[in-house]
Structure 1
Amino acid sequence: MYGWRARLGLMTASGIIAPESEYWLMAPEGVSCHFTKMPFTGGGTKDIIEELKTAEKFLDEAVTLVADARPSAIALVGTGASFCGGYGYDQQLIQKMRSRIGNLPATTGASSAIAALKKVGARKISLAMPYVEDVARVGRKFIEDNGIQVVNSKWLNHRDSFEIAQIPRETIYNLAKEVDDPESDAVFISCVALFVVEIIETLEHDLKKPVVTTNQAIMWNLLRMCNINEKIEGFGELLSKY
């Protein structure tokens, strides 16, 4: 039977396809993943930051729907959608979710990333992103406002979620290597739309430092919220050591 240890309630945008594969790949025995979609692709012509903020408008309904799976903990599976409002916006979203579902443990992509980076001891990071510049700059500021110095950052100028999922692993690998700085304690690859968890260990081997991705960070955070402290191999130091 699936979910006998924990059921994870996961809410993500309709145009994002990576999490359904990545979370089941990382999930330990007895943990099940239950997804609810919210209408968003990122491919429109509107101001992209304002478009990301529309996730909040659909959050109440998404929480209500995912609650039907009786989850042990829930997450807004979105990085830009949870940092687009600046410092503290992710915490506002968490409170909104918890008020809707009876104070169940809840997190977001941005919140989990910050927690994960601090857990691996990263005070300075290199930041790799697929986003357009407007989103990338807001993301960088959010991280720095949360007490982590970004010593270098690069982005690929994509805005459509489905398009981001098509980025080859080789491109992500090369981006992470290019952005890495000797002064950084870790590399953070931001965006839940990327297929990236299967190359984390290769990157860590080659860069000789922790590599954190948003989906990996959310999975780690949710498992710890559910008091599952099992060390999971194959997806980087965050899950195998912390």
Structure 2
Amino acid sequence: MTDSLGPRLKVGVVVPSTNTSAQPELDAMRPDGVTNHTGRMLIDDDPMVDEPGFDRVMRGIRSSTHPAIRSVACCDPGCVLIGVSPESYWEGTETQGQVLASMRAAAGGRPVTMSPEAIKAALSAHDVRRIAVITPYLPVGDDSVSRFFTDSGYDLLSVQGLGMPSPAKISHVSETGLRDAVKEIDSADVEAIVQVGTNVAMSRLAAAAEFWLGKPVLSNNTVLYWHALRQNGIADRVRGFGSLLGEH
């Protein structure tokens, strides 16, 4: 027998305990017969205004990820989505495979979707290399994000940090602020705009921005959910969240 509400796929989702944007955004993207089941990485809402503070938040996320994965694995999901941005576990391309393997082990061998692989797959689907990136951070966090994209071989033309001082405050970024950030970093040379930070609610704004820019605008939550669905055999085109979910 199959799960009555999620007969096609149950998606386990783990997010930081401060995150209030990922769960509602991912739920809005669900195809029929797919359900999401969220566990929380227990972290404090520490300031991220300097390098020690940013590193403390990252350490909290890393140390609490495996317990959160194990908690959500108890409902026997078909896969697990790690709802954090790419720099959270990034120590370079040579270690990413080890990180992913450790997440899969914590998930009992289930498929795991993480931002590094999902973002690379999304950019490959659009066949782009020259990008601009929006982050929720102050410059100390922007540096980590920039390192991820440059280490991954992308031509990073611009980075725009939104300057949020703590993990919970990231959810306070408005659509107006996001619109202004998109306008600020866009140029004729930019092939795609990528937003990182799963506590930024940008999935619908990104879809609107694609329409008036005529280029991919990729929200972290949309990218993660698209990759989780496609990796696990769900090919439904979900409208209203941009070209990635609607066309790929």
User: Under a length normalisation based on structure 2, what TM-score does the superposition of the two structures give?
Assistant: 0.91
| Residue in structure 2 matching 1:36, options 27, 35, 39 | 39
Q: Percent identity among equivalent residues?
A: 22
User: Which one of the candidate residues 103, 108, 111 is aligned to 1:105?
Assistant: 111
In the alignment of these two chains, the number of paired residues is 242
Q: Distance in 2 between matches of 1:94 and 1:19?
A: 20
C-alpha distance 234-98 of structure 1, shift in aligned 2 (>3 A)? same
1:10 and 2:16 correspond = no
Structure 2 unaligned runs (5+)?
none
Q: Is 1:214 the equivalent of 2:217?
A: no
Distance 1:100 1:74, change over 3 A: same
Contact persistence 1:167–1:194 (CA under 8 A): yes
- Give the letter aligned to residue 156 of structure 1: L
Query: Does the residue aligned with 1:78 lie in a helix, a strand or coil?
Result: coil
Give the match for residue 146 of structure 1: 152
* 4+ aligned runs moved over 4 Å, structure 1: none
Question: Is 1:75 matched with 2:81?
Answer: yes
TM-score normalised by length of structure 1: 0.93
SS at match of 1:32: strand
The residue number in structure 1 matching 2:65 is: 59
Query: C-alpha root-mean-square deviation of aligned residues, in Å?
Result: 1.7
Secondary structure in 2 matching 1:136? helix
Q: Which runs of 5+ in 1 are unaligned?
A: none
Deviation of 1:89 (Å): 4.7
Is 2:88 aligned against 1:85? Answer: no
1:134 corresponding residue in structure 2 = 140
Contact conserved, 1:192 with 1:214, CA < 8 A, in 2?
yes
- Is the CA contact 1:90–1:111 (under 8 Å) kept in the aligned structure 2? no
1:195 is paired with a residue of what secondary structure? coil
The letter for the 2-side match of 1:108 is M
User: What CA distance in whole angstroms lies between the structure 2 residues aligned with 1:78 and 1:88?
Assistant: 20
C-alpha deviation, 1:31, in angstroms:
0.7
CA deviation after TM superposition for structure 1 residue 88, in Å: 4.4
> How far apart are the structure 1 equivalents of 2:74 and 2:157?
43
SS at structure 2 position matched to 1:34: strand
Give the conservation status (yes or no) of the 8 Å contact 1:114–1:143: no
**Whole-Å separation in 1 of the counterparts to 2:97 and 2:74:** 23
